[in-house]
Amino acid sequence: MTAPVCLANAMLVLGNRVMHGRVTLSDGKISAIDEGPDVPAGAVDCGGDVLMPGLIELHTDNLERHIQPRPGVDWPHDAAILAHDAELAVCGITTVFDAMRVGSVVSDTSANYAKYARGLVSELLALRKAGALRINHLIHLRAEVCSETLIAELDEFGTDDAVGLISLMDHTPGQRQFRDLEKLRAYVCGKHGLSEAGFADHVAQQKALQARLGAAHEAAAVAAAGRMGAVLASHDDTTAAQVQTSAGLGIRLAEFPTTIEAASACRAAGIAVIMGAPNLIRGGSHSGNVAAAELARADLLDILSSDYVPAGLIQAAFALGEIWNDLPRAIATVTTTPAQATGLTDRGSLAIGLRADIIRVAVADVRPRLCATWVAGVRVA
């Protein structure tokens, strides 16, 4: 039981409009929504700031960055998880699907593809059970098709592991995200310091793994999603044919399609399109793929993800509101729509009876600024 909290004199982002009013939080849920500028005794005067649902993040690599802040550095995992959790809270993210790779390359230790997900998930869930985390954490398993151990690693997870999302990652050089091998060379050599010979070996190894194990790994990931009740996502679809394959596998989400052709095919197939907030903020893809703003203007963007910059999610949502001239529609891409896409029916909107996951945002500055975050009615940032 928590004492009621009234947040008044705020601009409330509702499903289809913005309303001047107040929200009351009681026992972890939204208990009242009232219109008008009144500030009742004991209420928090929000001074005209925006109140909106907490952000729901479906794909972020941020935890991996905390675990390995520099190449070769393995930071204590409990400290890394807590730092990651705190960072997301102050960015307005109240529910996160933490992305973790499954599928490793064990025959080549220089590949930097060692197994880690099973242990990290156990550590995260232990902290969650102990009540040490500020926000709600679920698991997103990134199933690497070009690996040696994917099936064995997937078999280590079950229905008690809070796996809500499994994505099919096929990073075979020369297609999808890295159709341009020069872009891949710059990325891999910059990240791992590979020589030209090392890069050539990497390309050959990835292609060989895909040819030998790709079909079996794809089937195993689809089966694992069914076994765990997880939503299935594709990654970096480039062609209409790839989207057709995704639809046949039962995929409901498309992460970062690389072309307008693929995004259009997703729309036709009823697959929701996720694009990266950094892409929208920077004005384009760092890999040379389709710009998120282009898809937004073509009405082919459904969900935003912070990807590798947690603070970018709220910034991109407000920028999208300017592109569409429709703030509620833009805010839905980081709240209502990702909640619906992953079966989270208890959050994602300002509505009576839903979880009191709410953020307060000041918009008078150049960029939106997070002022406060409440999770289940408790202020956590």
pLDDT of the residue at 112: 67
pLDDT of the residue at 287: 76
pLDDT of the residue at 191: 58
pLDDT of the residue at 170: 86
Phi, psi of 175 (to 5 degrees): -150, 170
Question: Considering only CA atoms, which of 221, 230, 203 is closest in space to residue 144?
Answer: 221
pLDDT of the residue at 105: 85
Residue 261 has what DSSP assignment? H
pLDDT of the residue at 161: 98
Token digits of residue 89: 């809270």
Residue whose token pair is 């990651």: 84
Does residue 20 sit in helix, strand or coil? strand
pLDDT of the residue at 178: 65
pLDDT of the residue at 215: 87
Question: CA-to-CA distance for 155 and 119, rounded, in angstroms?
Answer: 14
Does residue 193 sit in helix, strand or coil? coil
> Cβ(7)–Cβ(23) under 8 Å?
yes
For 121-137, the pLDDT digits (tens) are 999 999 999 999 999 99
Does residue 154 sit in helix, strand or coil? helix
pLDDT of the residue at 171: 67
> Cβ(377)–Cβ(8) under 8 Å?
no
Q: Which domains does the chain have, with CATH numbers?
A: 1-53+349-381 (2.30.40.10), 55-346 (3.20.20.140)
Q: How many residues does the chain have?
A: 381
pLDDT of the residue at 107: 79
Task: Give the pTM.
Answer: 0.91
Pairing of strands 5-13, 50-53: parallel
Half-sphere exposure of 215 (CA within 13 A, CB side): 2
pLDDT of the residue at 192: 58
How high is the mean pLDDT in each 10-residue block of the chain (381 residues)? 90 97 97 97 97 98 93 93 98 98 81 86 98 98 93 97 96 64 60 64 73 86 97 96 96 96 97 97 89 98 97 98 98 98 98 98 89 97 97
Question: CA-to-CA distance for 381 and 373, rounded, in angstroms?
Answer: 5
Question: CA-to-CA distance for 212 and 190, rounded, in angstroms?
Answer: 28
